[in-house]
Structure 1
Amino acid sequence: MRKLKLIWDFKGPTGQKTAEHHLIHLKEYIVNNKLDVTITGVETLNDMHSLAYLVVDESEMKPIRDALKPHRGQVYH
């Protein structure tokens, strides 16, 4: 089964802190909805662009995407 990485981008000088805070809410959503999601995190691309993400099975993506409205997604390798 293909896995998809749902991504939320945060830009500017506070992007990393905002991404870290957003990850807290993503983890709360996972717990509250009893999802089988174990891959989450924050990546800092540069000092002005960070992102928060979670990885889901493709079959489970649509309701999570519709509820959380990620900025973008990609196939997870």
Structure 2
Amino acid sequence: MSRKIKLIWDFRGPAALKTAEHHVKHLKEFIAIEGTALNITGHQQINDMFSIAFMVVEEHEMISVRDTLKPHRGEVYEP
């Protein structure tokens, strides 16, 4: 079974939450166009000045998606 990798984009500042929410729309568009194996995206507010957007991919897709979308970081996804 392939591991799942959570690719993460960090957003900081007073508009961080809105920016993360908007970024998720673009991630969903990418999934629809590229046909990635998974359709897991989302955003999370860490605090008033820091939010993240994320996308989960299969490990074998990670390098190509990473090189195309340039996330800030990644971690093993554990739902």
Partner residue, 1:52: 53
Partner residue, 1:5: 6
Q: Trace 1:1-77 onto structure 2 (pairs within 5 A).
A: 1-77=2-78
- TM normalised by structure 1 equals 0.96
Computed over aligned residues only, the root mean square deviation of the Cα atoms, in angstroms, reads 0.7
Counterpart CA distance in 1 for 2:12 and 2:58 is 27
Cα deviation 1:7-63 (Å, max 9, x = unaligned): 000000000000001110010011011112221100110011000001111111000
Structure 1: give runs of 5+ residues left out of the alignment. Answer: none
Give the ranges of 4+ consecutive aligned residues of structure 1 lying more than 3 Å apart after TM superposition.
Answer: none
Structure 2: give runs of 5+ residues left out of the alignment. Answer: none
Counterpart CA distance in 2 for 1:57 and 1:26 is 15
Counterpart CA distance in 1 for 2:38 and 2:65 is 11
- TM normalised by structure 2 equals 0.93
Counterpart CA distance in 1 for 2:39 and 2:20 is 18
User: How many residue pairs align between the two structures?
Assistant: 77
